Amino acid sequence: MDSMTNNNWKPSEIEPHAPLSSLLPPPQIHSIVSRWLEDDIPSHFDVGGHVVGQTVQTAQLWMKSSGVLAGLPFFEMVFDVCGECTVNWEDVAKEGSMLDASSSNKILLATVTGPVSRLLRGERTALNTLSRCSGVATLSHKCKQVAVAHNWNGMIAGTRKTTPGFRIVEKYGLLVGGCATHRLDLSQMVMLKDNHIWSAGSITNAVKKAATVCGFTQKIEVECQSLEEAIEAAEAGAHIVMLDNFEPQKLKTDAAELKKKYPHVIVEASGGITIESMGDYFDKNVDVISQGKLTQGYDCVDFSLKIVH
């Protein structure tokens, strides 16, 4: 075994957002993972699998860079779909834990046992999923910590700027890292953006028309470029008002005015906000700060899966 690895390292738990695996319905996740594997072997011949054969072997999952561990249910499902494989997690592998790893200080997370061809068939898909989910969770955790340091009690949220076919993993990573998912998809919640408003003729027209079909179970959010638009949206019945691309001081002034008139309306700040700049946007009248970069600009966490030999 590599003398530079660290098997005695103890995790420092972040806020206990995990375990969240019960959110994931196995039949749907099985279907999603099956599509990933089919995408990886579209011609259905696995020559590498033929080379290594069906001998039962064991592989070790190593973490090689620091981050919040997330995506364990997806990793397990990859090998479940591959068939005849078993994943056994080490005690250190707690979803939501911040682990301090590096290439010279690797952490053993799990062993995977099964026919070697199946282990290698699932290897890259499993690692890609774990790496990206952990990357989202790590950046989300860092943003959450900035909010805590500023004593701001609102929500940091992602957006719908997710990778097609991979949305559920990135949304799951947001939750593990301590952030909100925002709406999960186009059908969840009504968000009326500039294109909707231009097409409908006005904010009022758009909100009123949406309200006729979304009933009492869905909130309506309106993207606004000014205080005047925000007031119109609130008057029309919007539950959430997004103040989009506001400068920090203008945001705080207008959010205070909006809350004074409509204290029940949720105020969201969005548009170009990053972990570096978000501290400027914290305010008692801002309820949500959303960032597309949480699912578009994250760094992946490094993992490897190696056959024991």
Active site residues: 161
213 contacts 221 by C-beta, under 8 angstroms: no
- ∠ CA 195-198-200, nearest 5°, is 105
Using CA atoms, how far residue 72 sits from 61, 75, 178, in Å, is 11, 5, 16
The C-alpha atoms of residue 170 and residue 161 are separated, in whole angstroms, by: 10
262 contacts 99 by C-beta, under 8 angstroms: no
126 contacts 78 by C-beta, under 8 angstroms: yes
**Other beta carbons less than 10 A from residue 261's beta carbon:** 12
**Start-end of H helices in the chain:** 26-40, 47-52, 72-82, 116-149, 167-177, 194-200, 203-214, 227-236, 248-261, 293-296
The token duo for 14 is 């972040």
The token duo for 169 is 């993993």
In sequence order, what are the beta bridge partners of 268?
242, 288
Strand order in 56-63's β-sheet? 86-89, 107-115, 56-63, 303-307
Strand order in 190-192's β-sheet? 155-157, 288-290, 266-270, 240-244, 220-224, 190-192
Q: Look at residue 301 and give its three-state secondary structure.
A: coil
